[in-house]
Amino acid sequence: MKPANRNVAARDAYGRVSPLWLFLMKYGPPRWSEYVVKNWTGQRLVIAVPYLWLLVFFLIPFLIVLKISFAEFSPLGRPPYEPVFQWLEEGALQIKLLIGSYVYLFNEPLYVSAWIYSLKVAFFSTVLCLMLGYPMAYAIARSPPTQRNVLLLLIILPFWTSFLLRVYAWVGLLKTDGLINTVLFKWLGIVDEPLAMMNTSFAVYIGIVYSYLPFMILPLYSNLEKHDNTLLEAANDLGAGPIKSFLRVTLPLSFPGIVAGSLLVFIPAVGEYVIPSLLGRTDQLMVAKLLADEFFLNRDWPKASAVAIAMLLLLVVPIMIFQRFQNKELQAAKR
Amino acid sequence: MQAAERRVDKKDKNEPWRDPNAEAYVRIENITKRFGDFVAVNNVSLKIFKGEIFCLLGGSGCGKSTLLRMMAGFENPTSGSIYLDGQDMAGVPPYERPVNMMFQSYALFPHMTVEKNIAFGLEQEKGLSRADIATRVTDILEIVKLGQFAARRPHQLSGGQRQRVALARALVKRPKLLLLDEPLGALDKKLREATQFELINIQEQLGVTFIVVTHDQEEAMTLASRIGVMNRGEIVQIGTPTEIYEFPQNKFVADFIGSVNMFEGTMIEDLPDRVRIKSDDLGGVIYVDHGISSAPGAVVYAAVRPEKINILRQPPADTSENCVKGVVKEIAYMGDVSIYLVKIDTGKVVRVTLPNVERLSDDERILWDETVWLTWHGSSPVVVTQ
Amino acid sequence: MKTEGVFSKSMLWVGLAFLYIPILSMVFFSFNNSRLVTVWDAANSPTLKWYGRLFKDDQILSAAWLSIQVAACTATGAVILGTLAGLVLSRFGPFRGRAFLQGLTTAPLVMPEVITGLSMLLLFVSLEQLFTHWFGWQFDRGFATITIAHITFTMAYVTVVVQSRLASFDDSLEEAALDLGARPAKVFFRITVPLILPAILSGWLLAFTLSWDDLVVTQFVSGPGSNTLPMVIFSRVRLGVSPVVNALATIMVLIVALGVILSAVLMRRQEQRRKREEQMAAAG
């Protein structure tokens, strides 16, 4: 006969139980019923595959970076750091954690200025990108459906071409003898001498806005497109002019799109490497370049790791906000 | 009409639920389902017999869909058991149950033709040759009258056609039990009526037991051999459509099915074969020609259906009981009937339905603001105690 | 209403010009005879000289071949893992560690590449140490490490694409299949996959493009002798403009443009055919 309370324990959000497990559940030892519910083998395997991959190749590397950031730099070593964990002959485990790298990060003016500069550049690039991207997304969302598809195509096309090559294109434009100077200086004579635009902050701003514009437009567009036109009509009907209805109806409703787009630009921009390398200043570096130099040029792995950890900590909050938004969008799409 | 005749036949057929020794085909015993703190289904027990069309009727959120899904195997009960043909369904996944479901959204596979959609279920069964499958598919297409649409895809079909494909796909597997989730909800009125009778025909032809979930009373009344009214996770009353309509057991059922006029009152005479209720709601006495069981001095409710009330322009001979005076406040002309809202002296508005039997001239017809008397027969009120 | 329409429309055109002028100028100057690229040598241009040089450039060609191979393997691996992850996150009920998995799959979307690159390199170095210490193996970083690294960060994109496609999918279709007797694995392969195939395909293309184009992570995890195309391009353009790169860029832009237009046309045709069929059905 079926023991009544065992079934109560087994019926759970966990779903289906196969006949073999059911048999074991009925006639096996009492604690098995718990075990049974949690061991739906098929599902577990499917979950395990991507999970394990990400744990091994995404999460564990971060732990290793953390470990090495506390290691001692040994310039001639292969690899160039002293082991953090070491088994001594007596069977004891020696753990040597040095916070020297971190102290250096916070004190060395080169680093501090690099941090501040990176944040500043990323912030203003995001703002500029938003100021250009929002009207564009708005115009696309308001255009008739056939035009809309073509416009979206035009926005997405650059995204599929090589990022590196598109940044390279700006090298050709911004050089002293590049296209822009040719037009302004040689042909139109608007300026007295060629503008020095390469290797400036200005060039970096342009580079970031240019490269990340589609990432700003697409989330904004996908939000704006869902807006109900009748809301604006209602606002107009109640007496609000076009600017007011925009500020009080459209803008607040598009807030999730603004946040998503801004985070998609800001977070990677802080850690940008290619754009500052090709277009940026040589006297003021961004953190990514600093990390790469520390790693490849100085071979100082502990310090490079410390920079990476510090960057991670800096970006953890924005990353979590971004993920919260991602989740919300997915939940909304389910309805 | 053929369909109507068959319905009458059906009423003469055995009513297994009346036989205390009959074996129930589907036994639901003390089923409870909790989602966190929320109790969707609260200790429900049901017996459903072979060949029935059983309807679970209720508003949204009453738990009927959850109960259906538990029978199909998509949810596991928090406690309780479900037995199908004597077999305990605990832990049996949906793909191993002899139960099939017709989904509210039809859930037709968009990338397969009608034929493949229907054959899909048969392909999962062992021991069926291709020829067998093809024959059965053709047969069922004939029954649902979709023979020439076999090669079409779902988006090439109209709503009614899609519904029939969904039905065919479920029935072709010859399940012991067919579950239907709001089967007629997406169809327009005319189509709905026609399909209701077709469903009944098909069910009788194939002898499958149906359990239908719906919020539409008309659907339930037409289709069902028995209805189970649900409210807030509990079964409130089970009975044939006639029983539910004419003899509701509580206020909820009386109010839920059709319209009703409810008069609150206290009993002043309580005899085995008649009852008198003094009602302040009514401003008079209600005489009921059958006995009811209730505690002495308890508050009771007399429910009188709108179609059972007469409107008279002159007071009747006896105005002492089952009679009240009022003023016509609203008239709604519905074509086949007219609905009158009559305000009586106590302030309550009584709803009366009269069929438009004759074409009357203006002075013969009852008009707004006219003073009228409402009466009803002693057998009309149903008394409920909660 | 009119004024705001005009403002955003004009910004749209400004923005589009901003997006395309650099690309078009790059294409234009690939036909310029001058080595200085942007100084138009009217006497000898236009010319296809740089395209000729491009096809004789062994370093670029072998790097391109390596990039293609890596990208193809990456895309396939990313699609398998990403689809599984997307399926798990949108269809499976709650399980322990679900929120963590969700975080793990979407973090690579915004993680700066220097961090991902550094961390993966350190992982490979540690693994190298482990294998040498225990098994006496020596392995060099190269194709395998690059591919593994690429799969790790591109699968996030595939997961997002698949997950959002599954979220807008009526799961009663899968329930119906279960109800009709198909086991979960069969339901996945015969019902779910055919219906999300467009999402899987676009995920494949996305992963391919991201891998093909990746520079930073690749620089960290590659080994001697494994130079991908972006690495070669980068080393050349750091020193200044290079007309051969312009030629390469033009070819790539052409391929992408053709691909995008083709897919758009195909999709449009399919949409129209579907609409027509639905209208016919509704009529009778």
Contacts of B77 in chain A (CB under 8 A): 11
Q: How far apart are the first and last CA of chain A?
A: 44
Confidence of residue A18 (pLDDT cuts 50, 70, 90): low
pLDDT at position A37 is 44
Same domain, C63 and C96: yes
Helix orientation angle between A163-174 and C229-237, rounded to the nearest 10 degrees? 10
**B91 vs A12: CB contact, 8 Å cut-off?**
no
Residue with tokens 């004759």: B358
B78 and chain A: CB distance < 8 Å anywhere? yes
Of B157-171, C42-56, C247-261, least confident by mean pLDDT is C42-56
**A268 vs C152: CB contact, 8 Å cut-off?**
no
Confidence of residue B41 (pLDDT cuts 50, 70, 90): very high
Give pLDDT tens digits for A31-73.
444 444 444 557 778 888 999 999 999 999 999 999 888 888 8
User: Between residues C179 and A93, which one has the greater pLDDT?
Assistant: C179
- Residue B154 per-residue DSSP state: G
Q: Which amino acid is at B52?
A: E
Q: Helices in chain A by DSSP H: which ranges?
A: 4-10, 19-27, 32-37, 41-54, 60-69, 100-107, 109-142, 145-160, 163-174, 179-181, 201-224, 229-237, 242-245, 251-253, 255-270, 274-279, 287-292, 301-334
**A272 vs C112: CB contact, 8 Å cut-off?**
yes
Question: Which chains contact B through at least 3 pairs of Cβ atoms less than 8 Å apart?
Answer: A, C
Any domain includes C101: yes
C277 and chain B: CB distance < 8 Å anywhere? yes
- Residue B236 per-residue DSSP state: E
Q: Kindly state the average pLDDT of the residues B98-107.
A: 91
Same domain, C161 and C248: no
pLDDT at position B46 is 92
Any domain includes C247: yes
Task: Name the residue in chain B with its Cα closest to that of A25.
Answer: B91
Structural domain total, chain A: 1
Which CATH number is A140's domain given? Answer: 1.10.3720.10
Helix (H/G/I), strand (E/B), else coil: A293? helix
Same domain, C121 and C254: no
Any domain includes C15: no
Q: Kindly state the average pLDDT of the residues B41-58.
A: 93
**C180 vs B99: CB contact, 8 Å cut-off?**
no
**CA-based nearest distance B80→chain A, Å:** 8
Any domain includes C152: yes
pLDDT at position A334 is 60
Q: Kindly state the average pLDDT of the residues A19-37.
A: 51
Give pLDDT tens digits for C83-100.
999 998 888 877 778 888
Best interface-test mutation with C: which of A326, A329, A331 has the largest number of C CBs within 10 A? A326
Same domain, C226 and C281: no
Count CB atoms within 10 A of the CB of residue B24.
18
Residue B360 has pLDDT above 80, yes or no: no
Query: What token pair was written down for A319?
Result: 């990353």
All structural domains of chain B, each given as residue ranges with its CATH number in brackets, are 2-98+175-251 (3.40.50.300), 259-384 (2.40.50.140)
Nearest to B76 by CA among B110, B52, B45, B41: B41
Q: Which of C179, C278, C284 sits opposite B101 (nearest CB)?
A: C179
Which CATH number is C194's domain given? Answer: 1.10.3720.10
Any domain includes A127: yes
Quote the longest CA-to-CA distance of chain A.
99
pLDDT at position A33 is 43
Number of separate helices (H) and strands (E) present in chain C: 12, 0
Structural domain total, chain C: 2
A19 and chain B: CB distance < 8 Å anywhere? yes
Question: Which chains contact C through at least 3 pairs of Cβ atoms less than 8 Å apart?
Answer: A, B
Contacts of B126 in chain C (CB under 8 A): none
Task: Name the residue in chain B with its Cα closest to that of C173.
Answer: B107
Query: Residues A55, A48: contact at Cβ < 8 Å?
Result: no
Any domain includes C268: yes
Contacts of C8 in chain A (CB under 8 A): 135-136, 138-139, 142
Query: Residues B40, B34: contact at Cβ < 8 Å?
Result: yes
Same domain, C230 and C265: no
B91 and chain A: CB distance < 8 Å anywhere? yes
Any domain includes C196: yes
Give pLDDT tens digits for B154-199.
988 988 899 999 999 999 998 989 999 999 888 888 888 888 888 8
Contacts of C238 in chain A (CB under 8 A): 277-278
Could you give the ipTM of this predicted complex? 0.85
pLDDT at position C167 is 84
**B90 vs A11: CB contact, 8 Å cut-off?**
yes
Residue A5 has pLDDT above 50, yes or no: no
Any domain includes A94: no
CA A242/CA A18 separation, integer angstroms: 62
Any domain includes C24: no
Any domain includes A150: yes
**C106 vs A173: CB contact, 8 Å cut-off?**
no
Give pLDDT tens digits for A269-284.
999 999 999 998 888 9
**A11 vs B79: CB contact, 8 Å cut-off?**
yes
Mean pLDDT of chain B: 87
B76 and chain A: CB distance < 8 Å anywhere? yes
Residues spanned by the domain of A227: 108-299
Same domain, C224 and C254: no
Residue A178 has pLDDT above 50, yes or no: yes
**CA-based nearest distance B256→chain C, Å:** 30
Of A194-198, B31-35, C114-118, least confident by mean pLDDT is A194-198
Query: b/e for B72-107, b at 16 or more Cβ within 10 A?
Result: bbbbbbbbbbbbbeeeebbbbbbbbbebbbbbbebb
pLDDT at position B13 is 57
Contacts of C103 in chain A (CB under 8 A): 323
Confidence of residue C64 (pLDDT cuts 50, 70, 90): very high
Cβ neighbours for C17, distance < 8 A, ≥ 6 positions apart:
none
Residues spanned by the domain of C225: 57-240
C171 and chain B: CB distance < 8 Å anywhere? no
Give pLDDT tens digits for A64-106.
999 888 888 877 777 777 777 777 778 788 787 888 888 888 8
- Count the alpha carbons within 13 Å of C10 in the hemisphere toward its beta carbon: 5
Any domain includes C47: no
